[in-house]
Structures are given as C-alpha cells and as structure tokens.
Structure 1
Amino acid sequence: MFLPQHETDGCPKVVALLTDYGLADPYVGQMKAVLTACLPGVALVDLTHGVPPHNVLAGAFFLDASLPWMPPGSVTVAVVDPGVGTSRRIVGLRRKGRLVLAPDNGLLTLLLLRGTMDGAWAFPVPETASATFHGRDVFAPLAAALAGGRPVLECGYEVDPASLVLLPGLNPTLEGGRLQAKVLHVDRFGNLILNLRITEYEQVVRDAAGVSMELPGAPRIVRAAAYAAVPPGALGLLAGSQGHFELAMNRESAARETGLEPGDAVTLYLADKPTEEPDKALPLASER
C-alpha cells in the first residue's frame, strides 16, 4: 500500500478524477473513500466519469483538454482501463508541475504529442490489489501518496516517455492545401471536435481563402468565431473552448448532419488567398 508523506504547508492537496465508471455504481465513491482515508483534507475534483466505457480515445481527449486547468502540484487520476489486471503498466507523467497517473494504453497520447514532459514513471501493482479494480486499489492510494508529498521515486521508477503506448493516427498532416484530421470527440451538442490544436493551426486556417471538406453531401463550411454566427444549414469551423478546432452547426448537430463519429478521418481543403485580403472571420487568440 502506498502511504502519503504529509506536507505541512497548510495548502489543500488537489486530486482530480477522470474515469469511465459512470455514477450508477459505487466505483467512484469507493475511489474517493480511499483517497480521503489516505489523505484527509484532500480536495477532490471530478473532471468527468462520463467517458464512454472502454473509450480510450475519448478519455485521452478529455484528459488533454482538462489538465491545463488543474493547479500546479495537483495529481490527476485518469482511469479508462479495459486492460485492467493484465501486464499493462501503470504510469505517470508530469507536465508543467501537474502529475497524471494512468494505465499505459494510449490514454496519455495527446499529452505526449504536446512535446517535452517533466518526467515519466512506472509504478508496481501491489499483490493485494484486486485484478478488476485498480482505480480503487492502486491508483487512489498512489495518488494520495504523491499528492501528500511522497517522492515519486519512492513509489515507482523512471521510464523513457518514448516507451509509453500511443494511439495511432492522432497527428494531423498538412500537405499543400490538404489538411488531414480526425474526429476526437462528439459532444452532447453534436459538435465534431478535431485533433487540430488551435495553437498549431490557427494561422493556417486564418490564412486560407476558404475551407471545404471531402464528404459527399456535406454542408458548406464557413469560418466563424461563435456558434450563433454560423449561417443556418452551414457547417462552422470554430476555435472551440477545449483548445481544438471543431465543426459545428447553429442549434443543430454537425455529427448527425455529416454522419461523422469519433475516430473518423476528416479531410479539409484550404484554398489559397492573396495576402492583401486579411480574413477577420476567425480572430487569432491574441485578439480574443
């Protein structure tokens, strides 16, 4: 069992949970019970427990979108773990002072694609742990120990970040005016969130004369700064709140209209335009 080494700075320790457990069963509550027993006074954040069951891609997106909002020094536990009880590793990453614990099954892919990490580690599974519920028996006590101040190398050992499992095909490609992307997630409004980070593709999208999509019967695409600015029946390309570009419609479901689902490939064509015709339809982040 991992035990915390309590710090005495008086600040509450923050542990966030992201799982596919849902709320109908006692799984989330049992994880929280272990965390509070191991680290009294811990501040618990429920990022979501609504990841679709076994959907590692959705979990990877939720984790990548949420981690920047966690405070430095926090520990985030991400458990979407269809391989629980097998030889898959339990691993951790630290990025900008924020520690993430997850199964080594691709859940960390989007974080790893961001670039340099502060460190990566693997952790042993105690012999007493259930083979079917590592969230409660391994991740929760480990998170409490690390949030409580125990050095990471007392709980595990360093590994090469390049050795961690990556989901395939999540790097967009841009060749000429052809932008190959993928749908990461469809939110409850039917918006199609793409693997196009705003920080990386904002200028590319803004500089294009227009955008079209390789999909028979798809609505025309317009660039817009808000959902309400998308003309009725059109498909808007927007810089979304989760750090990625998304395809959305005005009070309609882009997913239903296009038939696209998470994991589907999307090809966008970016038309050239003269440099003397600046496009203000999609303002840069510095202007927002």
Structure 2
Amino acid sequence: MIVLFTDFGLKDPYIGQMHAVLAREAPGVRVIDLFHSVPVFNIRAGAYLLPVYAPEFPPGAIFVCVVDPGVGGERRPVLLKADGHWFVGPDNGLFEMVQRRAGACECRVINWRPPELSASFHGRDLFAPVAAKLAGGQLPDSEPAALTAPEGPPWPDDLAEILYVDHYGNGITGWRAKVAGTEMSLHIGGKVVKPARVFSAVPPGTVFWYANANGLVEIAAHRANASLRLGFKVGDPIKFVKR
C-alpha cells in the first residue's frame, strides 16, 4: 500500500502524474490519497499532522510525503522507517515528529536516481519511483544517516497553533488532546473557547473545542463555521488557561 501526503491540492495535474508513475512502476499496488491540502509550503504543519494519521494504516504502508518548497536545492531525499511504516520524501523537517514519536526508527539518504530527474518535481520523478521499489520488495541504493533538524528554534512536542482549517471551518491544532485535558479553556485571538465532548453537546451556533477523532485539539462550531465566527486562520496561536 502506498499513501500520498502532499500540499499539491487537487485542482492541478500533479497528483494525477504521481498516480501515473505508480501505476506504471507498481502495477496492482493500492494507492491511497490521504491528504493533498497540507497548507502550502508549510513544512511544520505537515510534520505535526503526519504522525496523527499514519497509525491508521497497516504495517508496511509506504508514505510518499511531499511538502517541499526547497525542491531542487540542497536538501536531501530520504527514507525513514518508523514503527513498521516507510516514509519517503525530503529531509527538510517534514519527518521530525514522526521520528520523535516513533518507538523504532531508521533513516537513510537516497542515493538512487532515475535516468531523468526534473529539478522541480521530485514527487513524481524520485519519491514515487522509490516508493514503487519499496512496494516491490527492493531497497533502493541508500545509506544510513540522521535526519536534518528543522531550521530555527527546536520544535515543541505539541504545537499551540492552528495547523489546518477544514471545509467545515473547524481549526485543527498541533496540540494533543490528552496533553490539554478537559478542564482548560482555550484562548485564541482574544476570545475564550470552552470544551465540549461532541457537537450535539452544545446549542447550534456555539463554538467549542474538543478532542477530535485523531486525538488533536480542534476548534469547531455546532452547525456553523468556527473559523468565520472567530476569525482564525492557519498559523494563529492558541493558549490553554485553567477554568
């Protein structure tokens, strides 16, 4: 099984091109489009979202992960094996949280190159073919290495900001709900948001935060758009305060 996780969106031909390569190089292997709306160029958002969804997939699943604003530059292409899953993509911080939360982890720099490699589309020309080789039981030419640390200050274990706003207007944060607890109010943009267990626990139109199905703190509204109600966007900070 090959799983795609990118910031490519669905309006352009890029995902279709990757599917074409996988169909040619790994015929019969199931390909799942997990997420193609990671905030554009936002490596950190992708890094905190990826380990939340990966555990749902069976052992041996191969994730092709492309949030790669530095494509064609100095960043290295890598393979990461973590808790029985393979992750293929750029060494730019995207796999930082997968590695940090894994029980067992092994990283390798990819030395293999295809006969033709564009400077700007490694998702199609390098990462997809490498995933196809892994799906066929081959380990491409590679060597052990350590992941490069993300640029800037060290990233926290839980990120107190909005990572993604879905089409309902719900704001998914980088804070794990088990860390937040249920006795905390959430502050965002000068507004206070109280917790609830599910949507139906509050009146229609009410904004609240809850532990979403993937274990993250999410700001939502019952039958309404929380992002419009509160005016938040990707990157906005949150803060927890004891009630």
Q: What TM-score, normalized by structure 2, do the two folds share?
A: 0.87
User: Aligned Cα RMSD in Å?
Assistant: 2.5
Q: 1:108 touches 1:166 (CA, 8 Å); kept in 2?
A: no
Rg larger for: 1
Q: Which runs of 5+ in 1 are unaligned?
A: 1-13, 174-179, 272-288
- Which residue of the other structure, out of 172, 177, 187, is the alignment partner of 1:213? 187
- Which residue of the other structure, out of 75, 89, 92, is the alignment partner of 1:88? 75
Q: 2:82 touches 2:105 (CA, 8 Å); kept in 1?
A: yes
User: Any idea what the Cα deviations from partners look like across 1:161-202, whole Å, max 9, x if unmatched?
Assistant: 4x34367575267xxxxxx8222211111112122213x41x
Partner SS, residue 223 of structure 1: coil
Q: How does 1:128-207 map to 2 (within 5 A)?
A: 128-151=116-139, 154-161=140-147, 163-165=148-150, 170-171=155-156, 181-198=160-177, 200-201=178-179, 205-206=181-182
User: Any idea what the Cα deviations from partners look like across 1:126-154, whole Å, max 9, x if unmatched?
Assistant: 27311011111101111111121113xx5
Q: 1:33 Cα shift? A: 1.9
Q: CA 1:186/1:54 → structure 2, altered by over 3 Å: closer, same or farther?
A: same
Q: 1:232 Cα shift? A: 4.4
- Which residue of the other structure, out of 25, 46, 68, is the alignment partner of 2:12? 25
Equivalent-residue separation in structure 1 for 2:229 and 2:153 (angstroms): 27
Q: Which runs of 4+ in 1 moved over 4 A?
A: 166-170
Letter in 1 for 2:237: A
Equivalent-residue separation in structure 2 for 1:47 and 1:227 (angstroms): 25
Q: CA 1:164/1:142 → structure 2, altered by over 3 Å: closer, same or farther?
A: farther
Q: Percent identity?
A: 37
Partner SS, residue 111 of structure 1: helix
Give the aligned partner of residue 227 of structure 1.
199
- Which residue of the other structure, out of 50, 54, 62, is the alignment partner of 1:75? 62
Q: CA 1:169/1:235 → structure 2, altered by over 3 Å: closer, same or farther?
A: farther
Q: CA 1:74/1:41 → structure 2, altered by over 3 Å: closer, same or farther?
A: same
Equivalent-residue separation in structure 2 for 1:23 and 1:212 (angstroms): 33
Equivalent-residue separation in structure 2 for 1:30 and 1:61 (angstroms): 26
Equivalent-residue separation in structure 1 for 2:36 and 2:91 (angstroms): 19
Partner SS, residue 136 of structure 1: helix
Q: What TM-score, normalized by structure 1, do the two folds share?
A: 0.75
Q: 1:125 Cα shift? A: 5.9
Equivalent-residue separation in structure 2 for 1:213 and 1:21 (angstroms): 31
Give the aligned partner of residue 276 of structure 1.
none
User: Any idea what the Cα deviations from partners look like across 1:97-130, whole Å, max 9, x if unmatched?
Assistant: 0111121222223323425442111113627311
Q: Which runs of 5+ in 2 are unaligned?
A: none
Equivalent-residue separation in structure 2 for 1:214 and 1:35 (angstroms): 42
Letter in 2 for 1:260: F
Letter in 2 for 1:28: I
State yes or no: 1:51 paired with 2:38: yes
Partner SS, residue 77 of structure 1: strand
Q: CA 1:168/1:64 → structure 2, altered by over 3 Å: closer, same or farther?
A: farther
Counting matched residue pairs gives 242
User: Any idea what the Cα deviations from partners look like across 1:61-86, whole Å, max 9, x if unmatched?
Assistant: 44223211221111110112111111
Equivalent-residue separation in structure 1 for 2:145 and 2:157 (angstroms): 27
Letter in 2 for 1:155: D
Q: 2:39 touches 2:164 (CA, 8 Å); kept in 1?
A: no
